[in-house]
Structure 1
């Protein structure tokens, strides 16, 4: 029943109501009922936003006292319009219904009160009443129409303002929800990129470090080459991570992404890390959109990185990239390490590959097949118009 108002809002309403009461009190009333009515209307005006229900009850009390004292319509009655507006603008569903009912019933009562006080002579005798029937009918219709128009219009304006505010709040909520979804999608994208960069780079660094450690005594040149590869890979990873962190800090656009032309360098990097890769590309490579190029690169990168980390190091990894009218097909096969148990449903890497494929409308399956772990993906290609 009591709404929450800020101190400035409450102070404003009280000051406005007080000024209205003071301005009306310049003209005196003939009876104490007039002063009581004025104070009640002023109180209703002051609390119309704080409690529309109480304000409506106080305004009705003032109107009843006014009619009981047979007082004519007064400027103080304008407070009723503000109260009706407040019931529709700020009130609960029950208060809004009571406000509309008050507007209709008040219009009827005001009309009857006007006729009773304005036609006392015509109502004094039967003959005078009969002669005044045309005037009474006209006054009844005109007064009722005017009263309904003024009172119901005040309530309707309040309802329209309330509806406009609700629509604006809904738009803001929708915009906020869309912004949160966009932020979550961007966060997931950066997380995928971070995982791809860090996991791949660390896998190469670990493999090279192990090789350098074993070859340090017997083959210093091989150890030096391994250390050089570690340094190069770490620098490239550091550059990529800095780019991703810059996007987080400064809300920059996406950093440059690897493309299909970088596949050969990726394969060579993994070969340098000790992973045998048999890369076969079939078909003529068509124009490929950037999103599809990134998806293909990241899927190949993650699949080869998993083979380096978890696969059998004695066997080569088969990488097949085939181009067709329906899109690109990717198949990566590597022998499982002896005694290893592989799950196709857990791990950020497998989840990331599946997300990469689904984001461009493709599909991916990863799991053990006999003594091999196979990653197979299909990436549909955009039309030539979309690529251009």
Structure 2
């Protein structure tokens, strides 16, 4: 066994308890056990004296496992005490009876089994000790003849009182140990729950940051690529269009860089201590600007609003904006050239619906299977009890539909407003 394994074993509480009890038992054998054996050998002779001497040495030795195996230890001590009492392990003088010192260890065994043993063993140990007190009182009364009744009562009350006092203190001690173990177990559970909550919070924060980074970077790169492709073809015939494309690319790059710095700043500092104030998060009211950015890349995109707008729960507006942003990004990447995109934002009595349709290639568009856009959409909507549906739409193209539940409106506002014509510019 290496040093590491030895240190680990020495740190084991059960091993430490067994070691301490073994050392104490060894000391009792050398002091009390040998003394009692000497008393027994002096009081009598013959084989019975040798047996008794061995028994009184075995009594302190049995205390070596009083905490690891309390029932076995108590049974051994009790049987040894009964055996030496039956064999007459009592040293007699002319006028008194002398009991061997190891008899006191019966109280130690009673204490140990009461503190560390099961409930049935505690009751059995108490009954056995009281029975031993009765037997000792009978032996005392028998020896002292005329004063037998008084000696019987005095011995019975004295020994039984010590037994009950030991048992009562052991019960008190066991109660304190159980309360301490309960507190330790509670602290352990609280520590586990705290660690689990920290892990869940970390995972949720990582997922949130991953969604934000994906939405910002993927959308910006898609628009930049579209602008770069358009500007490259327009550079030959329309330098002004190429210049507009480069301007859009520069603006989009700066906005994306600012968003990434904001996200990383919060990740690093947890607040605005990085030296710049935190910018407000986009909400559903910013969809016009988002559609305008897509339109500058040359894509035909329109925004339709239905119903009566009303305040959203905190974070719901950001969810609508990010889902729309991701849906538009996917349409830019997969719908194909010449595709038209329609964004519908509909306020219903008990829900808010966002629907992004395109008439492009739909599910036939190639995909590397590594995108996390739909996963992020569903995670965002699930935070508010919403649902996301994505797939080919009737008549061709692709549709992304998200619905977030909202508090019910009154009867006066339950009828949605008429459908407005598609917007061709920022509202």
| Gap regions ≥5 residues in structure 1 | 88-95
SS in 1 for 2:232: helix
Residue 202 of structure 2 aligns with which residue? 183
Structure 1 distance, partners of 2:196, 2:351, is 35
Query: 8 Å contact 2:350–2:408 — kept in the other structure?
Result: no
1:74 aligns with 2:104: yes
1:371 aligns with 2:396: yes
Alignment of 1:28-47 (within 5 A): 29-32=35-38, 37-38=59-60, 40-41=62-63, 43-44=64-65
SS in 2 for 1:74: helix
TM-score (norm 2): 0.69
Query: 8 Å contact 1:315–1:334 — kept in the other structure?
Result: yes
Residue 185 of structure 2 aligns with which residue? 166
CA drift at 1:247: 4.3
Residue 131 of structure 2 aligns with which residue? 112
Alignment of 1:1-388 (within 5 A): 5-6=10-11, 29-32=35-38, 37-38=59-60, 40-41=62-63, 43-44=64-65, 48=67, 52-53=68-69, 57-58=72-73, 60-67=75-82, 68=84, 69=89, 71=100, 73-74=103-104, 77-78=107-108, 81-82=111-112, 84-85=114-115, 87=116, 97=118, 100-123=119-142, 146=165, 148-250=167-269, 256-337=280-361, 340-341=364-365, 347-369=371-393, 370-381=395-406
CA drift at 1:342: 7.6
Deviation sequence 1:330-361 (CA, Å, 0-9, x none): 22211123893489x99421222222222112
SS in 2 for 1:281: strand
Deviation sequence 1:273-295 (CA, Å, 0-9, x none): 22221112233321223311011
Query: 8 Å contact 2:78–2:106 — kept in the other structure?
Result: no
Structure 1 distance, partners of 2:291, 2:373, is 18
Query: 8 Å contact 1:312–1:334 — kept in the other structure?
Result: no
Over 3 Å counting, the alpha-carbon distance change for 1:79 and 1:111 in structure 2 is closer
Structure 2 distance, partners of 1:307, 1:229, is 19
Which sits farther off after the overlay, 178-187 or 161-170? Answer: 161-170
In the comparison of the two structures, how many residue pairs are matched?
363
Deviation sequence 1:157-209 (CA, Å, 0-9, x none): 54444444333333333333333222222222222222211111111111111
Over 3 Å counting, the alpha-carbon distance change for 1:306 and 1:121 in structure 2 is closer
TM-score (norm 1): 0.75
RMSD: 4.2
Query: 8 Å contact 1:295–1:360 — kept in the other structure?
Result: no
Structure index of larger Rg? 2
SS in 2 for 1:31: helix
